[in-house]
Amino acid sequence: MILKRRFLSSFLTIAGVAAAAHAELIVLADGRVVKASSFQVSGDVVDIELPGGGGFVVDLDRVERILDDEVVPNFAGVEPLESSHAVFDLSFRADRKPLFHTPFDSLIESEARRQNIDASLVSALIRAESNFEPRAVSRKGARGLMQLMPATARRLSVSYPLDPRSNVRGGVTYLRQLADRFHEKPELVLAAYNAGEDAVESYRGVPPYRETVEYVKRILAWWTPATVAESADAASARPSASTAPR
């Protein structure tokens, strides 16, 4: 962190302090969480104001993500998917195409195949993140089609996050990591992409942040994950090498 200033005793105020009318959670790359009354991204730094007064400036590449600190009242979890007892399969299947017929479909499909992740999932996530705008930069500092924060891009070896191929390759790699970590459970994978792995593990499910809950629901309204049974049926329907027409 750089340029520490104004009431250093307020530094690293954690969630649990009396909430301001609106607040954000600044999740740092080392796992610490700061509750901020406001923030502003200026170039490569984030100027953070603390609820009790004072603040500090931190390098943007040390910020893992920024979340709106608004909790859904009486949150009981995201409603289960239709096949609530099914085992889902988020792996690549040639018949599960990108959903929205964009100029990036071939890129999405090739990177999804490379990482063995569902291409339709990737396309739904990109729509939620950037609406297929390759040069999108959010007020939180996330960049490109899959809205990678600089810290995430660095971890994934993405040097040019506004380059569509680099961005999608990094984002799809991250999705594969999340699918492995959360056993291909769609709600948890999506929640972790938005709120972070630690938040999902801390809450043992989708965190109650309104932003994350709405994010998961929005993507699941566009995209229906395949089940293991569906994948097995699709595989059995494909002709084998010995029976394929010549």
Q: What is the CATH number of the domain that holds 55?
A: 2.30.30
Residues 125 and 61 in one domain: no
Query: Coil, strand or helix: which one is 197?
Result: helix
* pTM as predicted: 0.85
Q: Which pLDDT value is given to residue 118?
A: 98
pLDDT in tens, 100-157: 999 999 999 999 999 999 999 999 999 999 999 999 999 999 999 999 999 999 999 9
Task: Give the CATH number for residue 155.
Answer: 1.10.530.10
Which residues, listed in sequence order, are joined to residue 234 by a DSSP beta bridge? none
Q: Are residues 98 and 48 in the same domain?
A: no
- pLDDT tens profile 24-62: 999 998 889 999 999 999 999 999 999 989 999 999 999
Which listed residue (24, 109, 111, 129) is catalytic? Answer: 129
Sign of CA dihedral 49, 54, 57, 61: negative
The mean pLDDT of the chain is 87
Q: Determine whether 211 is an active site residue.
A: no
- Whether 78 maps to a domain, the answer reads no
Same domain? 212 vs 107:
yes
In a domain, 122, yes or no: yes
The model's pLDDT over 183-196, given as tens digits with 9 standing for 90+, comes to 999 999 999 999 99
Same domain, 133 and 187: yes
Domain residue limits at 42: 2-68
Is 35 within a domain? yes
Q: How confident is the model at residue 2 (pLDDT cuts 50, 70, 90)?
A: very low
Structural domain count of the chain: 2
Task: From 166, 148, 154, 192, select the one nearest 104 (Cα to Cα).
Answer: 166
